[in-house]
Structure 1
């Protein structure tokens, strides 16, 4: 049976009220984790006040 480990990373969003993702930095982090065997499972933004988001959350998994 496969066993998995999980990692959750929080990326800060830029801009007034948030919502702007620095894609170059984001891609760098995704590729770095991918090289370590992590697979991106989900990415989402938790809603803040008035629907604005200050963070993006990325969830990864890899076999143990």
Structure 2
């Protein structure tokens, strides 16, 4: 299948979301808040494509970056 034909069918759309951790040390995760955000994105047709944590010194994480994709019809 050629790129031109694929573009006529539709394309992937991407969204990047950063979820900050809370707490004094920046390591506390609010699971309910994160679940709510993920469920809302899922209802809008977004699918998680990749994720990674954001690190500080000595490997401590301060948040997570999530990349979502959804198919957009042409």
- Please confirm whether the aligned pair reaches a TM-score higher than 0.5, indicating the same fold: yes
**CA–CA distance in 1 between the matches of 2:70 and 2:24?**
35
> Normalized per residue, which structure has more helix?
2
User: What secondary structure is seen at the aligned counterpart in 1 of 2:54?
Assistant: coil
Q: Which residue of 2 aligns with 1:12?
A: 20
Number of residue pairs matched?
64
CA contact (8 A) 1:45 1:55 kept: yes
Of 41, 56, 59, the residue aligned with 1:51 is: 59
TM-score by length of 1: 0.85
Q: Give the structure 2 partner of residue 34 of structure 1.
A: 42
Residue 49 (structure 1) shift: 1.5
User: Structure 1 regions of 5+ residues with no counterpart?
Assistant: none
TM value normalised by structure 2: 0.75
Inter-partner Cα distance in structure 2 for 1:62 and 1:25: 22
Instruction: Give structure 2 stretches of 5+ with no counterpart.
Output: 1-5
